[in-house]
Chain A
Amino acid sequence: MKQTLSRGRFVGGSLAAGALAFGGAPYVIAAPMKEIVIGLNVPQSGPYSDQGQDQLRAYNLAIEEINKAGGIMGMQIKTTVGDDQTTASVATDNAQRMIERDGAVMITGGSSTGTALAVSALCQAKKTIFMAALTHGDETTNSQCHKHTFRRYNDAYMSAQSLAKTLISKYGTGTWFHITADYSWGHSVHDNIVAVVGPKGAKEIKNVQLKLGTKDFSGALAEAQAAKPDVLVITEFGADMVNCLNQAAQFGLTKSCKILVPLVDEYMAKGTRDNFDNVVSTAPFYWQYHAAKYPGAKKFVDAFKAKYGVPPSNGAETAYVDIYQYKSAVERGGTINPDTVIAKLEGWKFQMTKELEYWRKEDHQGVNSCLVVEGVPSAERGEGGFGFAKVLEVHSGESVVQPLSGLACKMEPA
């Protein structure tokens, strides 16, 4: 008996010791609502960590501004942060912890459609709003849409439609070689691009699918080199795209064929330097262009630069706007109750950093413009390499968004 009691005490004691190590502060689950908790679930490690860090900067900026101005309905915003490691199970564990333990009323962040889909499913089960940040794959607001999930970022369909004219005029309908990230986003982008150029006669030589986080692209690139295509499509993101494009240059592919990178952000362009010259891509937001055109964007970009010394990437912009949109919906509805917030977001028109845009009711997709950009020679890039693009075309959200007739989204009633 004696041994049993002391064993229990030891286990309890070691747990308590561990607790002391963490300061043992109980987390406030907002019972008397003086503050609300928002969960920031971003990649702080892995191939998309640059994007995740920038999102975090934007979230902190927005929340700081809002708190300084009195918070949301008088309640200060408190954040709980997690590193999703661009892994679905870690992302959902974080989200679960944020909801169950920290009492988060809204979850946001993420740079991958893979994690977005997983967190979206969990937030639906837990009836918590999820403002999916940087996710580009169609599924988030299409085949795997959920009532509690909202996505403002362009999707792959929109990018492909925006590129349609350029794809044919600049890239032609010859032979195409694809290197694609092997998960939901990569498949989504690849299928959308093929749907645009295939009917026009473009011939796909091969589609090499590589795991997210691949560092060595030499196998695929060597094959591409041997195949001598007209166009090389690199459907990779973050550090993976940087590696792939830089290695492609080593194989001489940047000189021997035209390169298409369906989605880009400032950090990817910076990492690939010269190799991104004359490469065509899309983005929902480009700080230099939008700050010159829209006062709302200029205000955001200036504030971001003042606080962090660098301009914001396009993922940061959607993070910033998402927080403000959540605030707006809560205030208009007068409550944090998710059903009301959802109703207030659906169909809501607003203008903040871009043109007039809105949240579509049927799939919770943000209908806003998509830019077709081209890499500027690195000698001409300003702002520490962040001024990387020349805007070729601007396509309005309405003109390129997934038509309702083709939507496979079956949203839950509640």
Chain B
Amino acid sequence: MSRGTLRILLFTALGLAVFPFAIHPIGGYPGLATQICIMAIGAVALNLLLGEAGMLSYGQALFFGCGAYVSAILVQRAMPQHPNLVLAVLGGIVVSTAAAAIIGALVVRLYGIYFALLTLAFGQMGYFIVEQAKDWTNGDDGLQGIPDALIYVGTAGVDLQTPLPAVDLGPFGNLSDVHLWYIFAAVILLLVIWFVRTLNGSQFGEVLGAIRENEDRSRMIGFVPQLYRFAAFVIAGALTGLAGGLRALYDLQAVVDYANIDRSGSFVIYTVVGGVQTLLGPVVGTAVIMYLENVGSGFLAKYPQLPGWQWFEGLIFVLVIVFLPAGIVGTFKRKRKPNFAKMLAVKR
């Protein structure tokens, strides 16, 4: 890999290593850090679509929910005695990828707001199907208390809930607050970032960017835009399914709001607030928003005289869009403001 990529990965790895401890004094906790890593995978996937390919997908929760439920069902029904985490998550990825391929074939012909609305429609369909397929998904109650899946090395199973050895870190908590789950999720996130970075730098990524900038010209050069957009959609669907599977096996549940419209919106929000068209923007955005959501709402619950957390969340969106349209990381990098209009170029 290139030196630039190595630098970014090392920097991110360092950040991830200190993250669960760094948030301790400000009300964070390692469980939250693990969930952030998992959701960040979904945000990075969305950024592949939105930032690279210029496709605003408002239905990623379909793939997230798909990955979550398939993994949960596999663990609960197919292997309750020897719940294999890797196999379950792979199962979730396979089904999400298949779903992305089917839906992708239908949606890539549209652009801009029409593309977004169609993905929203499919997302909603997925949500209501999950709700109604009660024999499989338990409807609104969700699948609760699924067995704790292990990672099998040979015949020995590693339980990711195992904490690290106890070492007191003063105001940053204790090393044992962090479980193997966090390391696992962080490593996967790193791999996903590496993969996406490589993809962006490859010819595939260049073509996607070209399609985003000026589709007619790229077609005249000889590329078939729909194929590239389709590939991007499927890859994003697979990655989001991975995130879903991890989330379900971490939370030990699969609930219907993994597939709802707010979840789809969350990925968009994390990406845009963090900085679309940047590599680490989605990760930063996920961390900031999820931290504020979790810690902030817990804080505000004690003060009923203040408005609820969502009031502040709405305000943050407005402020970010108006003053920081390149997101946190994007503004920080002092690049050109992302040209959204060019990104979502309507077919001419």
Residues on A facing B (Cβ under 8 Å):
4, 7-8, 10-12, 14-16, 18-19, 22, 24, 26-27, 44-45, 80-83, 87-89, 92-94, 96-97, 100-101, 114, 117-118, 121-122, 124-125, 144, 182-184, 211-212
Contacts and interface: CB of A to CB of B under 8 A. Distances in A.
Given A96-B31, A121-B252, A16 B140 contact: no
Contacts of B336: none
Interface string B90-106: 00000000000000000
A89 B25 contact: no
Contact of A18 (B31, B144, B292, B298): B292
Contacts of A94: 298
Contact of B140 (A10, A18, A182): A182
B143 to A, nearest CB: 10
Interface in B207-252: 251-252
B171 A26 contact: yes
Interface residues of B, number: 51
B28 A101 contact: yes
Contacts of A45: 308
B301 A118 contact: no
B270 interface: no
Shortest beta-carbon contacts, A-B, top 5: A19-B26, A121-B145, A101-B29, A183-B140, A81-B301
Most chain A beta carbons < 10 A, residue from B23, B35, B142, B252: B142
Contact of B299 (A15, A22, A124, A183): A22
Contacts of A182: 139-140
Given A24-B26, A88-B141, A114-B141, A18 B288 contact: yes
B198 interface: no
Contacts of A16: 26
B333 to A, nearest CB: 8
A27 B22 CA distance: 14
B302 interface: yes
A118 B297 CA distance: 20
Contact of A15 (B26, B131, B253): B26
B141 A89 contact: no
A87 B257 contact: yes
Contacts of B142: 88-89, 114, 118
A82 B251 contact: no
A118 B302 contact: no
B347 interface: no
B144 A15 contact: no
Nearest to A27: B27
Contacts of A22: 26-27, 295-296, 299
B251 A19 contact: no
A137 to B, nearest CB: 9
Given A11-B284, A96-B31, A18 B26 contact: yes
Interface of B: 7, 11, 14-15, 22-32, 35, 131, 139-142, 144-145, 148, 171, 177, 251-253, 255, 257-258, 284, 287-288, 291-292, 294-299, 301-302, 304, 308, 328-329, 332-333
Nearest to B161: A125
Contacts of B177: 100
B297 A144 contact: no
A234 B19 CA distance: 50
Nearest to B280: A7
Given A18-B291, A97-B298, A92 B251 contact: yes
Given A18-B26, A27-B27, 8 more contacts: A7-B332, A22-B27, A24-B26, A93-B35, A94-B298, A97-B32, A118-B142, A184-B141
A124 B30 CA distance: 19
A338 to B, nearest CB: 17
A130 to B, nearest CB: 13
Given A92-B251, A211-B131, A15 B23 contact: yes
A122 B146 CA distance: 10
A89 B294 contact: no
Given A83-B297, A183-B141, A97 B31 contact: yes
B294 A24 contact: no
Contacts of B295: 22, 97
7 contacts: A15-B287, A26-B25, A82-B301, A93-B294, A97-B32, A100-B30, A121-B253
Contacts of A122: 252-253
Contacts of A14: 288, 328
Nearest to A115: B141
B301 A10 contact: no
Given A7-B332, A97-B29, A92 B253 contact: yes
A89 B31 contact: no
Nearest to B332: A10
A239 to B, nearest CB: 16
Given A15-B26, A117-B144, A97 B332 contact: no
A376 B28 CA distance: 50
Nearest to A53: B304
B302 A81 contact: yes
Nearest to A121: B145
Contacts of A81: 298, 301-302
